[in-house]
C-alpha cells in the first residue's frame, strides 16, 4: 500500500480514536489536560511511524492505550 493511502487510513483511525485515548490519558495524568494532550500526541506519533512502516499490531486501540 502506498504512503498516501496509509496516511489517509491513519487519519481515519486517529479521528475515530483520539477522544477515547485522550480520556484515558487525562485520567492517568490526574486530570492534567496539557500532560494528557502531550502524552496522547506522542503516542500517535510513534503509532504513525509504525503504521507507515507497515509494522503495526492487529488491535491498534490496545496498542495505543498500552503506550500511555
Give the sign of the dihedral formed by CA 7, CA 48, CA 42, CA 16. positive
Separation of alpha carbons 60 and 18, rounded Å: 12
Q: What is the 3-state secondary structure (H, E, C) of the chain?
A: CCHHHHHHHHHHHHHHHHHHHHHHHHHHCCCCHHHHHHHHHHHHHHHHHHHHCCCCCCCHHHHHHHHC
- State which residues of the chain have pLDDT below 50: 1, 68
pTM more than 0.85: no
So what's the pLDDT on residue 33? 97
So what's the pLDDT on residue 34? 97
> By three-state DSSP, how is residue 18 classified?
helix
Amino acid at each position: 500500500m502506498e504512503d498516501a493511502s496509509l496516511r489517509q487510513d491513519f487519519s481515519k483511525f486517529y479521528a475515530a480514536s483520539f477522544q477515547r485515548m485522550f480520556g484515558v490519558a487525562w485520567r492517568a495524568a490526574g486530570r492534567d489536560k496539557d500532560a494528557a494532550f502531550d502524552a496522547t500526541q506522542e503516542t500517535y506519533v510513534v503509532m504513525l511511524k509504525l503504521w507507515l512502516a507497515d509494522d503495526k499490531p492487529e488491535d491498534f486501540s490496545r496498542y495505543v492505550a498500552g503506550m500511555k
